[in-house]
Amino acid sequence: MSVKPGWQGRFFEDFEVGDVYQHPLGRTVSEADNTWFTLLTMNTNQMHFNAQYAAQSEFGKPLVVSTFTVAIAVGQSVTDLTQNAFANLGWTDIRMTHPVFAGDTLWSESIVLEKRESGSRPHAGIVTVKTRTLNQDGKEVCSFNRTFYVYKRGAEQIEGLFPTAEQPLSLED
């Protein structure tokens, strides 16, 4: 019996300009998600939580808070992009290109735009990606560029994090 490590995420060396990652998890947005996010972020724009108010708009119903859409897109990308990142350096060119409503299912994908070695951190590199999010109909609902620091493979900062068990896991337990 041997220990097989789980998915470790990508390291700086794994990124190549032009690579596209279709992030594996879709996420259906609920009315509760929108309400909670509105409350948590103290967003008082009634377009997000007042059905009567929203019914009078061109959309006819409440819009999902745009920053929630961005948060989902970033979260969906973590498995492929930033599981080994230690800092986001910036988001640029954030665009909300189509409305999102409760009941929509969101999917995101990212393309690597550039990468470079860090001049000040020999254990890391800097990667820039463009991420876009699609709804269930394939319509782009948002896009943005993001730059982040990511560890190189073998960086001591991430070695030995999993604790040693007092008792090894076995088939007899």
Report the CATH number that the domain containing residue 21 is assigned in CATH. Answer: 3.10.129.10
In a domain, 3, yes or no: no
> Considering the entire predicted model, what is its pTM?
0.89
Find out whether 140 and 132 touch, Cβ atoms under 8 Å: yes
What is the extent of the structural domain holding 124? 12-154
In a domain, 172, yes or no: no
Name the band, by pLDDT with cuts 50, 70 and 90, for residue 170: confident
In a domain, 168, yes or no: no
Render pLDDT for 90-139 as a digit per residue (tens, 0 to 9).
999 999 999 999 999 999 999 999 999 999 999 999 999 999 999 999 99
In a domain, 6, yes or no: no
Find out whether 115 and 127 touch, Cβ atoms under 8 Å: yes
Whole-number Å distance between alpha carbons of 61 and 31: 11
In a domain, 34, yes or no: yes
Please count the structural domains in the chain: 1
Render pLDDT for 63-85 as a digit per residue (tens, 0 to 9).
999 999 999 999 999 999 999 99
Find out whether 52 and 36 touch, Cβ atoms under 8 Å: no
In a domain, 57, yes or no: yes
> Phi-psi region for residue 89, left (φ > 0), alpha (ψ -120 to 50) or beta?
alpha
In a domain, 41, yes or no: yes
Whole-number Å distance between alpha carbons of 112 and 125: 13
In a domain, 5, yes or no: no
- Give the angle 55-58-62 at the CA atoms, nearest 5°: 45
Find out whether 157 and 84 touch, Cβ atoms under 8 Å: no
